[in-house]
Amino acid sequence: MDPSEISKDFASILSQKAIATKVEAKVKLHKGLQFRNELQTDLSEDRTILSRRFGNVTTDSMFTFEYGMKPISELLLIEDVDMATMTHFPFQTQIKYTDLSGNKCMRVITCKLEVSSEREELTNLADTELI
């Protein structure tokens, strides 16, 4: 960011219209995974649920997070999970918000990501702009 342009950049940000208010997002991971580089206050005790409050959002708003496998010592304590046989990991995001008409809404997005040990394949699929 150019310090001499900061007032113009700030004015540009303020001119963007909100598309929702009181926005809260909750992301749930499989119990064999955990979030990384997040504030402890935003995480559940087992680090598999991340909760964030955003307030107002625009079409340019973005929410990112980082996750990885739990340490082997923790994985061994999870009785009903055999990480060696996992083929997919489920993810769920719950977004609560108030629309511009004042309606309280919730959107739930659920997906499964395929497990792969092919580093080159994963590198080719990665969203490098996001990373």
The confidence score (pLDDT) of residue 114 equals 86
Residue appearing with tokens 């699929």: 125
Coil, strand or helix at 6: helix
Query: What is the C-alpha to C-alpha distance for residues 75 and 82, in angstroms, rounded to an integer?
Result: 8
Q: Which two tokens stand for residue 104?
A: 């309280």
Q: Is the pTM of this model over 0.85?
A: no
Q: In order of start, what are the domains of the chain with their CATH numbers?
A: 17-125 (2.60.40.1670)
Residue appearing with tokens 């990384």: 36
Contact between 53 and 24 (Cβ < 8 Å) = yes
User: What are the pLDDT tens digits along the chain (131 aa)?
Assistant: 566 666 665 555 566 889 999 999 999 999 999 999 999 999 999 999 999 999 999 988 888 899 998 998 998 888 888 878 888 999 999 999 999 999 999 999 999 988 877 878 777 777 766 55
Query: What is the C-alpha to C-alpha distance for residues 115 and 122, in angstroms, rounded to an integer?
Result: 10
The confidence score (pLDDT) of residue 126 equals 73
